[in-house]
A and B are shown apart, each in its own frame.
Chain A
Amino acid sequence: MLNDVAVVLEHMEGVLAEVSFEMLAKGRELARASGGRLVAVLPGHGVRNLVDELGAADVVTLVEHEALAHYTPEAYVRALAAALTALEPRAALVASSSMGLDQAGALSVRLGWPLCAYCRDAHLDGDGLSAVSQIYGGKLLAEAVVQGAHAICAMLPGAAQAAEGRAPGTPAVEMISPPDLVALPVRFKRLIRPEAGDVDITRESVLVSVGRGIQSQDNIPLLEELAHALGGALSASRPIVDQGWLPKTRQVGKSGLSVKPKLYVAVGISGAPEHIEGMRGAELILAINTDPGAPIFDVAHYGVVSDLFDVLPLLTEKIKSRA
């Protein structure tokens, strides 16, 4: 219905993603403003048991089909397009994740609904729907007014409190059977799990995390020395891993691992939202970067605007001479 708010839930291997609960929290806020229902849209196969975790929603729209047993973009988009067409919500929240990237854009084109990407926030008030997008690697926020009766917001992980989206109770379930999930042009083959690395960065209490600011693979030992002096390990931003300078098991962020060490030293890392997603929960964050405007300083507790090569070797020396 025209004032309902729909939340497209994300799950993997039978587990609802944290961002799903965050979206339920944000969705509840929007539904309160619009006076509509909060509808949780759950596509999948054999996922009915997840409904018990969705007490925050007024109703769950279950889109059940065997072609949805594993995630593939085409099947999920067809199923979700059918569900959203039937629901006609004021706003549909989709996760800004790998799956959400596929879904949000494709649904926007298929349904002809405007899309706001990288949303940190969304509001419904007298002026209609507005959304705040975090763009330019986290350096700027764009607040936009959205036209039309429907809209899709791709919500960044961390934009709302997941705890507020968890509530006891089992809401009513409405079933929608998706049409034409045959002759699909994208087929699931297999799931590949990460290989265990020499170091499990999710268990280290100190991480020295290196980014593109270290400039060359030759500089890795310099930072490794600091990590060792602190009794911790090296982790990295994505570009370092893509260059092959460190293994994938060391990657922190959206498409890597989430870490919560006691100390996280971000070295030459700009702090793109995809990186921050994986480390914002660290207890103490130190960041060193030559750019005073780097978004990493928005999550760091202590910041140093300086060339890493000037400061860090001195710090390593100090720690080592103490030991």
Chain B
Amino acid sequence: MDIVVPVKMVPDLVEELEVNAEGTDLDRSVMKLRINEFDEHAVEEALGLKGRHGARVTVLAVDTGDVDETLFTCLAKGADRAVKITGDFQNGVSSHTMAAVLAKVIAGMPHDLILAGVQAADDRDGQVGVLLGATMGLPHVSVVTGVEPAGDKAVSVRQEYAGGLVAELEVDLPAVLGIQAARQAPRYAPVSKVRQIMKTAKLEAIAAPAVDAGAGSTVRRLAKPEVAGRAEFIEGSPEEVAERLYAILTERGLVK
């Protein structure tokens, strides 16, 4: 089975996000990027399937910046092939455009199963995995937490809904799945192994094909939310804060 995992770099949300001078996009010059957390799960699910059933795993990234180390890390974890799609993407791209680019590239490589991350924090015009499935004319399921082969030409997947309800669905291959969580916590690649792979392995590069797809909308304003009821902050030394919290809980009868 050939599994393709598109991975994406996203701003690290633990860092402060700076908006550009026009107030329409992030200031991308100061951003620290990391792999989308759901993609780590998609990679893990692919490598898990490879371990249990045998598969060839290709990791693919449209180069929106800083992807090399992420791709090498995937190789160090056990991916067979790492491909970087190069082009002018530094200023951000819409999900529709991203899906169109990925669709063309993936169409040109063997693909039985495409495991995308379920979503990323910045996809204002939709989730690339879903758009990719529809663009390629392939079946798609999002919010998936477990994938197992069901015969040669299908997989059995679990889709999660609210309230902890889960459906088991059978999906014909080739298919695109939006992975929410792998059945195991994502494996870890030791830095030494990544370093070594960086010396011995090479990333393949493919120039992005031309596509014609925008988001169909334009950002007028990007800003921090103005919230009416922001928390009342409790300040002071840890001792003072604990004292105040204790007082609040006691006043409300929550500590008896």
Chain A residues close to B by CB (< 8 Å): 12, 17, 70-74, 77, 97-99, 101-102, 104-106, 108-110, 113-118, 130-131, 133-148, 151, 154, 185-194, 206, 230-231, 238-239, 242-244, 248-249, 251, 254-258, 262-263, 270, 284-287, 291, 293, 295, 297-306, 310-312, 314-315, 317-319, 322-323
Question: Which of A114, A258, A304, A306 touches B125 (beta carbons < 8 Å)?
Answer: A114
Report how many A-B pairs have Cβ atoms within 8 Å.
273
Q: Are B164 and A248 in contact (CB under 8 A)?
A: yes
Q: How far is the CB of B194 from chain A (nearest CB, A)?
A: 22
Q: Contacts of A188 on B, CB cut-off 8 Å?
A: 167-169
Q: Are B217 and A101 in contact (CB under 8 A)?
A: no
- Apart from A117-B123, A284-B252, what are 11 other A-B pairs with CB-CB below 8 Å? A74-B139, A105-B127, A106-B140, A117-B95, A131-B217, A140-B19, A147-B217, A151-B217, A230-B249, A311-B241, A314-B242
A314 to B156, CA, bound (A): 48
Q: Are B172 and A109 in contact (CB under 8 A)?
A: no
Q: Mark B113-125, 1 if CB is under 8 A from A, else 0.
A: 0000011011111
A136 to B34, CA, bound (A): 13
Given the interface pairs A206-B254, A257-B163, A311-B242, the reply to whether A101 lies near B127 with Cβ below 8 Å is yes
Q: Which residue of A lies closest to B141 (CB)?
A: A73
Q: Are A105 and B165 in contact (CB under 8 A)?
A: no
Residues of A contacting B: mostly: mixed
Q: Are B217 and A322 in contact (CB under 8 A)?
A: no
Q: Contacts of B185 on A, CB cut-off 8 Å?
A: 242-244
Q: B201 in the interface, Cβ–Cβ < 8 Å? A: no
Q: Are B224 and A315 in contact (CB under 8 A)?
A: no
Q: Are A315 and B166 in contact (CB under 8 A)?
A: no
A102 to B161, CA, bound (A): 12
Q: Which residue of A lies closest to B247 (CB)?
A: A318
A319 to B254, CA, bound (A): 10
Q: Contacts of B131 on A, CB cut-off 8 Å?
A: 105-106, 108-109
Given the interface pairs A243-B185, A315-B245, the reply to whether A146 lies near B164 with Cβ below 8 Å is no
Question: Which of A98, A139, A263 touches B142 (beta carbons < 8 Å)?
Answer: A98
Q: 18 A-B pairs, CB-CB below 8 angstroms? A: A74-B140, A98-B142, A98-B143, A101-B119, A102-B130, A136-B17, A140-B19, A142-B124, A142-B219, A144-B217, A186-B139, A191-B168, A194-B163, A243-B185, A298-B230, A302-B231, A302-B233, A304-B241
